[in-house]
Amino acid sequence: MTYRVIQWATGGVGKAAIEAVLDHPQLELVGCWVHSEAKHGMDVGEIIGTGPMGVVATSNKADILALDADCVVYTPLFPNEQEVIDLLSSGKSVVTSVGWVYPFDALDTQPLDAACKTGNSALHGTGIHPGGMTERFPLTLSALTRGITHVRIDEYSDIRTYGAPDVVRDMMLFGHTPEAARQSPMVKFMGTGFMQSIDMVAHELGFKLDADKRTIHDISVATAAIDSPIGIIEPGQVAGQKFTWEGLVNGEAVISASVCWLMGEEHLEEGWGFGPEGPRYEIAIQGDPDMSMTVHGCHPASVEAGLLRNEGVVVTALHCVSAIPYVCAAGPGIKSYLDLPLISGRAAPHFQE
């Protein structure tokens, strides 16, 4: 069966999602919403840098709602619940990288549930972190042990490879003072997703979490000038940040998820760096026996390579796109990772002929 897909937003994740849809044997791209008026009316092939493909982008939401499609890959910078409700109500399932990973314990899902019922559609939040790294891999690894006392999921990334300088400078607040960076909206925005992932893992493993979770925000400053894509970071300005979210039982951390973003690893304070493993994801479970795994391949080989094509952005999009056939077949409602069968990728096109 072929599923008709719309891409909502064409930033880094959106462009990677379009490429993945075009490469997937069960998917057909039929529409695209763009935020910029400058992109309105452009062929999507022009937006992603390929030849024309006959799909025209629009900034008109009504055009998208009127399209006959099975699913929307929804990847704006920040989510808008009313947009998602309208898409679901129009009969289109939504797969997104910006929320609703496991909203059942944290949010009022009634409006979304009602929209799914109206449109006979499904909503699935996923991505990579939160997403695959914080759900799929720790839960799979947990089946190999027992008596679990702690689950840890850590990301170590070179933030210089992220090709969105305005976001890095003005939202993540790198290059600012530590006092300014502590006001970063990323703490709350990212925490919404990571805390939902913690709830999901806790639910499946049987942890009875305390009502309140813990958030830790550690900051490192440059010890010498650092040349970066957002300009020179002077000594004393923020050059490293680690965000950690913890699920607690009787005040003790039992599930932790963290993001450690560094402006490289030169000229940082002692104790800040990637270590011999380099940029990576780490997943560790304390149990009988202990289990751990390190994931490489989601990080660019260099800053220059990452600014051209950041694998972390690409895999975020791929985890969304790979889920589309399973979400469309799942029936109406909010579908977390726990509600779907095993999600897989597909063979290269020349092996499918």
What domain range is 290 assigned to?
136-297
Which residues contact residue 121 at a Cβ distance below 8 angstroms, ignoring those fewer than 6 apart?
87, 88, 89, 91, 92, 93, 94, 115, 332
For the chain, helix (H) and strand (E) counts, in that order, are 11, 15
pLDDT on residue 186: 86
CA atoms within 13 A on the CB side of 81: 11
Instruction: Give a yes or no: residue 38 inside a domain.
Output: yes
pLDDT on residue 89: 98
Instruction: Give a yes or no: residue 305 inside a domain.
Output: no
Which residues contact residue 47 at a Cβ distance below 8 angstroms, ignoring those fewer than 6 apart?
10, 15, 18, 32, 34, 39, 57
**Residue ranges of the chain with per-residue pLDDT less than 50:** none
Residues 40 and 146 in one domain: no
pTM: 0.95
3-state SS, residue 207 = coil
**How far apart (Å, rounded) are the C-alpha atoms in residues 319 and 312?**
11
Residues 106 and 13 in one domain: yes
pLDDT on residue 1: 87
3-state SS, residue 195 = helix
pLDDT on residue 184: 87
Residues 259 and 196 in one domain: yes
**How far apart (Å, rounded) are the C-alpha atoms in residues 21 and 153?**
29
pLDDT on residue 185: 87
pLDDT on residue 352: 82
| Exposure b/e, 224-253, CB count within 10 A at least 16 = b | eebebbbeebeeebbbbbbbbbbbbeeeeb
CA atoms within 13 A on the CB side of 207: 28
Residues 16 and 88 in one domain: yes
Instruction: Give a yes or no: residue 108 inside a domain.
Output: yes
